[in-house]
Amino acid sequence: MTAVDTTANLAAGNPTPTRRARKAGRLSVGVSYAILLLVLIVVLFANFLAPYDPNKQDLNAILLPMSGDHWLGTDDLGRDVFSRMLYGTRVSVLAALLAVAISVVIGLPLGIAAGWLSGATDLIVMRVVDAVMSFPAIVLAIGITATMGPDITTAMISVGIVMSPAILRLARAQTMAIRSETYIEAAKSFGARGLRRMVLPHVLPNIIQPILVQVAVLMGFALIAEASLSFLQLGVQPPTASWGAVLSRAYTFLDQAPMQIFIPGIAIAATVFAFNIIGDEIQRLLDPKRK
């Protein structure tokens, strides 16, 4: 678009492509906040919001369609899908939080150590990371979970281990960049040494911005990983509900109740979208160059 076209659009009251993009960006951020707020409310108050016991079976109400009594229908055992989705939200989100927490606990200190100490420490840590990353992430998580036994806690520990290289590599790169800064050299010249006087006050605060962005993105990946493992019956075990477990049951009876497979799928997609958008928003808000 030329300058003449832009001026004509402004004169006519039409928004420019840049303004339209900004408006769409603000809308997506608002929708993402709304989705995550709704998810948080469900996680905290699922007990009060669910109209039925999520595990209660009613063999006289198998695979019922959506109705006033069962808003999202019932599954193959007569359990209320809406109630199972509410309780499953809590399980899926807390499982994703566990995986991300483990990835940060493993990746952040090792990444800082590799970037700050360099030399042999950096070489050993990065060779281990290369070995872990040589396998597809979800395949490695499936292998670890299958070896240790199917369980949601085991599954998310596996996912956390698989995701830790993303945090580690980012923390290492940021630490190496900070290590060469002038204020680090000045602090060293005044005798500052060690974890308490150098890493904690100077390194950690300056790498927290990209780490927070990465954490938001990894939350989306962890949700997908939990759904994938539970779909394969390597995550939550019956009768516990999660988004992946509900999706697995719906897939089994796809020909009889096709609408039920969309419910957990939309929930997963919307929440992952929200975490990705919020990650971009965190990066924008914490950008030191932002006016």
Report how far Cα 117 is from the mean position of its chain's Cα atoms.
30
Buried b (16+ CB within 10 A) or exposed e, 70-82: bebbbbbbbbbbb
How far is it, in rounded angstroms, from Cα 42 to Cα 133?
A: 35
How far is it, in rounded angstroms, from Cα 2 to Cα 9?
A: 11
Task: Give the mean pLDDT of 229-246.
Answer: 89
Instruction: Give one DSSP letter per residue of 227-270, joined into a string.
Output: HHHHHTTSSS-TT---HHHHHHHHHHTTTT-GGGGHHHHHHHHH
Domain extents in the chain: 20-286
User: Which CATH number does 20-286 carry?
Assistant: 1.10.3720.10
| pLDDT beyond 70 at 135 | yes
| pLDDT beyond 60 at 152 | yes
How far is it, in rounded angstroms, from Cα 235 to Cα 254?
A: 21
- This prediction has a pTM of 0.86
> Tokens representing 200?
């904690």
The per-residue pLDDT for range 39-78, each reduced to its tens digit, is: 999 999 999 999 999 999 988 889 988 888 889 999 989 9
